[in-house]
Every structure is written in structure tokens, then in C-alpha cells.
Structure 1
Amino acid sequence: MPQTTSKSLVSLINTSLKPELSRRQFLRRLGVGASASLLASQSIAQSLAIDITDHESAQLTKDDLPAASIDANPSLVANTKATSAPSQCLNPSIETRLFASSNVGANEVRNQLALQRMACAGFKIQNPEITERQYLRFAGTDSQRASDLQNIASGAIAAPKLLLGVRGGYGAMRILPSIDWRTLGSIMAERATVLVGFSDVTAIQCALLAQGKMSSLAGPMLYSEFGKTNPDQVSCRQFAQALSNPKLTIEVNSAALTSEQLPVIFADNSSQTITGTIWGGNLSVVSALAGSPYLPRIDGGIVFLEDVGEQTYRIERMLYDLYLAGVFKGQQAIVFGALTGTGEDSYDPRYDVAVVIRQLHELTGLPIYNGMSFGHISQKSSFPLGATCQISANTAGGYQLSFADYPTIKAEAINVEGFWQQA
């Protein structure tokens, strides 16, 4: 793929940054090939305040907006490239189907690169053609998008070992009533199918757990991660680990991803051990499901929440939505992942995420665990939703999450380095 030189790229930026151009139009004008050269100039990247590597689609959505990226750190980029020597691709053997429940992945080059990488990593994708679908802003009509999952529930298509989301954005809620979740969950449990996604796919994961009693994996998606110019190797390795390790553990020793103004554990008794079913996902989606039959009602559960690009008052309002709907009743704890891109409150900068979470603790009386490494960020740790989770304090002053009772894939069938192979 040809690369734009730094000099010509600066010229392009200067001519593109006009008042009449929206941020989306500017990114479209830059095009796919500009990303690497742009990020080579730290001053340009800082002046734009975006990670172009993650914006190769003309349609920007939440799953395109990480607040922290490995590509924005020159030393990490250098280390990544140094370890990106070509590796031998595996003969793909893991039966995999895609589901496109939300936004269209409009960049076909990016789609094809992601498909090639998945094959190199050992995943035999049976329906790559769905990446070409589009209806309005969505990855197909409601009927088409629902069929990705309903055809499995009806028996028209055999359940694969992996169901991988294409991308997030918006649209999954539109198809929830069109899927027989109870039957789908039963079939997936019998086949030990792993469904993977996050962001808008939270709606799919919540419905699957609420009505189908089936777990899923919070993890990276086809277009959103594996189609990047330089996929985040940490996220890819953690994804493979979560797919293949039946006794996954995650250590958290800092609250910074949630808020630097919070302790890692916000509880009356920080040494307690809690065991329950972990559920949740993107806060915007979870709060939108409140009062619907698609939101899990789990006794003694552990609620996980993350979000990006939401102002502090909106985060608090969504948490109040859940509180007033009684969602936190009967839960044992709340775990926060990354709450990024919140900005500063225009009325009072003291009103921040830390204030909101302290208020939530007072309202619910629940222990709150901060800083889990998942959300709209790079270097995220995939983990199962709907699985048994044990939270315990560790010796570093943080906490450990240990997971059990979820389906996995044999590690030897996965070629991890395939996830970031260059075309």
C-alpha cells in the first residue's frame, strides 16, 4: 500500500482543515494510506488529538474511538514493529462465522485485511461475504443482520465454534426481537460456541445471557481491531489467552483507566472475596436496555461497565437510569473498566468521574472495583461475560479477577501472530 510522505501529508492537512469540513469528512479525505505517515509525526498526531490508525473507516463510531492507543506512543510502535516479523500461517481449522449486528464496515480494504489475518491465525470464516452488506448506516437490513444469529437458532445453519462480531457502532438493539435467544443459547451451549464482541454488541451479549442463559466473550472484533493498519498486539495476545484458557485471571493494580482520582478498590472492606456471575458491558447500551426483557436479572451478580466519549453528567445519568430501575439491587459488586474521553465539565471541573462513582457507592452501598483493562482502549484484556467470576484483593494493593465456567478453544489451533500479519 503506498504511503503518503510527511511533507505531502502536512500539505494535505493544511488544505483539509477548513471550517466547512467535518471531522469525518477530514478523515475520509486523508484516506487509508495516510495513517502511518501521520503517526510518524508526534506533533501532528497531538495537534489532531486523534489516532488515525483506528479511524480508517469513513463512519466513526464508539468502537473507533480509543482514548489511548499503542500507535500514539512512538516507543511502543517501535517495539511492535520489531516483533512483527512474518510467521507461518496456520491452516485455518476453527469453524467461525461472522455476525454484523451494527454499523457497516465501509472500508473493503480493511475488511479483506482482517479476513486474511483471521485465516492466518487459524480461523476458518464461513461467511466472509457479510462484510459487503449495507443498508443505510447498518451492515445490512434488520432482517439480514438478525439472520446472522437466527439462522443458527432455527437450525438452518450449524453452530460454529466461534461467532465473531464485525464491529460495533449502533444497530444491535433493532434486531433483538427478531432472534430466538432461548434456542440460540441452548444450541450454543451444546456446541460450546464462543460469541465475541463489545461496544454496541453489548446488546447481543445481554440478550443472549438474559434469555439464552449463555455466556460470551468481551473482546476485539473483526473490523474494529484486526482490520487496523497495525493491530494492537497486546489486545490480540489477550484475546487468544481468553479464548483458550479455561482458568483466566486478570490483575488490576491501578484505577487510572476509570479515574486517577479513585482508589483501585472502593469498598468498606477491600480484603473481601466476592464470587458471582459477571455481566454487563458498554454503559450506554446496558442503560438503554433497562426495563426490557433483554437485560439480565442475575441474583448475586457482578456488574461490569465501560464507556467512551460520554460527558460526566451523561455517565451519571445512565448510572441513575440503572439505579432507579432497580438493576443494582441484589448485585454484589460493580466493576468499572475504561471510562475515557469524558472531558471537563463546563460548569465545574471538580465534577468528574470520581465524584460520580463515589456518589454511586453511596447510593448502592456496593463495593466498586476500578481500572479493569477493558473498554474502548488499546491493550485490553478480553474476558467472559456470563461466567463465574471471583474478585479478590492481591498483594499489590489491587485486585484479581478469576473466571470459570465458559467455553474455550484449543490453544494449539490459534496462531496468535497471525492477528497482526501485514498484507
Structure 2
Amino acid sequence: MNPKHIYIYSPAGAVRDKAAFKRAVQRLRGQGHAVEIDEAALKSHMRFAGDDDTRLAAVHRAAASGADIALISRGGYGLTRILDRIRYPVLARAAERGLRFVGHSDFTALQLALLARAGGTSWAGPALCGDFGGEEEPDEIMQACFDDLLLGQGEGTGWRIGRDDPMPAPRARRGAAATAQVPPSWSIRDATLWGGNLAVLSGMVGTPYLPDVRGGILFLEDVNEHPYRIERMLTQLLHAGVLARQKAVVLGQFTGYQTVAHDRNFRMATVVAWLRSQLKVPVFTQLPFGHVPTKVLLPVGAKVQMVVENREALLFWGHLEGSHHGHGDHAH
């Protein structure tokens, strides 16, 4: 792989695991990349990576870096504090020139604000410490998707949807083979892909930083949130009219919670079934994205095509006539 310029910065939480940070930088450099570390990447102020002014300046330095990838060190919390001060046209122009902003979790706030305020695209994907800084090698699928992004080769991704996910009835063939049936399939074209962390996104409802996407594909994930809290946040999006305006809702990984006896069998499956009862648009599950090692990279704000056939879901954002199967095909 040709060496790429990766800029590391900390727009949200402070880096607590310095060993993971160092391992991740060494790992990326070992892959041949030129890794540039922002001057404030390891600063600390309360729970933040520096005060608001420091982190705001880091965001703008990342945009001006001329790098191929601007990768957050970690998520945590902090970006919503500075959304009203970010120069979104500057970030959007950097993205148009080829800079890919990459991250997830708290980074959802910047991604959605960039889309809402300047129509800028970014990538939902790994963070430095959590995905490249472990003692074990990075997840193969995540690494392959990241490499595809670096090379400009990623055109889409795929996964196997849940057993209870909706599928349309088979279509009967015409003519002599009228008794045969075409395999069930579902597809949409030219839909804006958007979403990210559910807690961050739902907290942006009613602000000018949540994009008003209509006819889109909304993907969601979360961590350390009990199913009833997941349902409560989905209810917020439902009552705000956000969910009904989409062509599909795609649920990623919801991890890190524990149910208790008091739940009486109230589980994530209960939440998903309730959500489907409230919506006319399909709700698909098992997207390999979230606070998990195996994650695909997703272009936030891009026009995509989605196809579901025989329980295999495919998202295309590249050349539709070319090879569609990204590394994420093997994720689940």
C-alpha cells in the first residue's frame, strides 16, 4: 500500500490509556503510513482532551492538515459543547479535497452537524485507541475496510440481517414459468446514509445540528444503554417525526448493558418488535457497526443503494456496475 498521511487528534474525551495510544500509532506507522499527531492530542482538562478552545482548535487543525485521514483518538464526550463554534464550510471543503474524517461514538455529533450545516460527508468508522491500540491485532474486517478507504477502493459493504427482519413476499414469475417464484428482494436507490450513536443523535433533536434527512437510510448503534433507554431514545426520534421520514432504519450493535430480573423478559428484541409496530418503513438489524471490534466503515451523508435479498443486505456507495462485495460481507 502506498503510504498515507493520517492525522490524529482528540476532539472529545481525554486519552486515558497512553499505552494504547502509543501502540496504535506504532501499528499504523508499521503499516507504512505517515502518522501526524496533533499538538493537543494528549492534553487533559477534567474529562476532556483539553478545554473547549483547545479541542475546537484541534478540529480546525485536522481540517487544515492536508492529510488523507483525520482519525479521532477516542470518543467519550465533548463535541456537542463546541458545535456552535466549528467552521463547517472549512471542514466540508477539506472533505471535498479528499480528507476523510473518521470516527464514531461522540464523533457522531460532528458528523451530523457537518452534514446539516454544510452538506459535508464523513466516515463512521474506527477510533485510534479502541480499534488500533489493543494488545491483539486489529479486527481483520475493520482493518480491511480501513485499508479500502485509504486506497479509495471501498464501494460498499454487506452483512446477514436478523432472522426476524422483514422480507417481502416472493414475486411470481410471468409466462411459462408462472408457478415459479423470484427470491424475495427489497431495494432502494439514491438514499442518503446517515446516523451513528443513538444517544448522541437523539440528544441533537430540535437543534440546527441534526440534519433533516428525508427518504434516507438511518443507521444506529449504542453501548452501555439498557434496552428501555434505547426504546426511550427511539421514542424521541419517533415522536419528533425523524423515523417516519426515512426509507429504512438499520440497527447496528447495541452492547455493554445488563438486564435484570425486574425486566421480566424485556430485551432488545422487545424494543425492535415495538419499533416495527410503530413504523411503516422496514427495520433491519445486525449491521456490523458500533462499539465492537468488527465494524465496517460507512459514508455519512453519501447517496447509497441498499439491496436485501435472501437475508443478505448490501449497501453500495461506489460504482454500482463494479464489484459490490466489500470486506464487510463476511462480518456476520
* Same fold, judged at TM 0.5 (above): yes
What secondary structure does 2:206 align onto? coil
- 1:147 and 1:128 mapped to 2: Cα distance? 10
User: How far has the Cα of 1:305 moved from its partner?
Assistant: 0.1
Residue 183 (str. 1) matches residue 83 (str. 2): no
1:117 to 6, 12, 27: 27
2:111 to 205, 208, 212: 205
Native 8 Å contact 2:62 2:70 kept in 1: no
**Structure 1 stretches of 5 or more lacking a match?**
1-89, 256-261, 406-423
Partner in structure 1 of residue 327 of structure 2: none
1:271 to 185, 197, 201: 185
Q: TM-score under structure 2 normalisation? A: 0.84
1:227 to 133, 140, 149: 133
What secondary structure does 2:251 align onto? strand
1:401 to 300, 315, 325: 315
User: How far has the Cα of 1:93 moved from its partner?
Assistant: 4.0
User: How far has the Cα of 1:347 moved from its partner?
Assistant: 2.7
| Mapping 1:234-249, distance limit 5 Å | 234=140, 235-249=142-156
Partner in structure 1 of residue 177 of structure 2: none
Amino acid at match of 2:284: Y
Deviation digits for residues 46-101 of structure 1 (CA, Å, limit 9, x no counterpart): xxxxxxxxxxxxxxxxxxxxxxxxxxxxxxxxxxxxxxxxxxxx8x8423322311
- 2:152 and 2:250 mapped to 1: Cα distance? 22
User: How far has the Cα of 1:166 moved from its partner?
Assistant: 0.7
Native 8 Å contact 2:14 2:49 kept in 1: yes
| Mapping 1:14-413, distance limit 5 Å | 93-151=3-61, 157-189=64-96, 191-234=97-140, 235-255=142-162, 263=164, 265-266=165-166, 271-275=185-189, 276-395=191-310, 397-404=311-318
Native 8 Å contact 1:163 1:193 kept in 2: yes
Deviation digits for residues 361-386 of structure 1 (CA, Å, limit 9, x no counterpart): 22221101110111111222222221
Deviation digits for residues 318-360 of structure 1 (CA, Å, limit 9, x no counterpart): 0011111221232100001111233325433322112211221
Native 8 Å contact 1:277 1:301 kept in 2: yes
- 1:108 and 1:348 mapped to 2: Cα distance? 38
More helix as a share of residues: 1
Deviation digits for residues 24-44 of structure 1 (CA, Å, limit 9, x no counterpart): xxxxxxxxxxxxxxxxxxxxx
Native 8 Å contact 1:225 1:231 kept in 2: no
- 2:262 and 2:308 mapped to 1: Cα distance? 37
What fraction of aligned residue pairs are identical, expressed as a percent?
Answer: 33
Native 8 Å contact 2:186 2:308 kept in 1: yes
- 2:167 and 2:317 mapped to 1: Cα distance? 21
What secondary structure does 2:192 align onto? strand
**Structure 2 stretches of 5 or more lacking a match?**
170-183, 320-332
- 1:353 and 1:225 mapped to 2: Cα distance? 25
Amino acid at match of 1:320: T
- 2:68 and 2:297 mapped to 1: Cα distance? 17
Q: Which runs of 4+ in 1 moved over 4 A?
A: 267-270
- 2:18 and 2:186 mapped to 1: Cα distance? 49
- 1:373 and 1:115 mapped to 2: Cα distance? 25
Native 8 Å contact 1:103 1:170 kept in 2: yes
What secondary structure does 1:273 align onto? strand
User: How far has the Cα of 1:107 moved from its partner?
Assistant: 2.8
Give me the CA root mean square deviation: 2.2
User: How far has the Cα of 1:245 moved from its partner?
Assistant: 4.6
- 1:210 and 1:220 mapped to 2: Cα distance? 22
Amino acid at match of 1:165: I
Amino acid at match of 2:306: I
Native 8 Å contact 2:222 2:291 kept in 1: yes
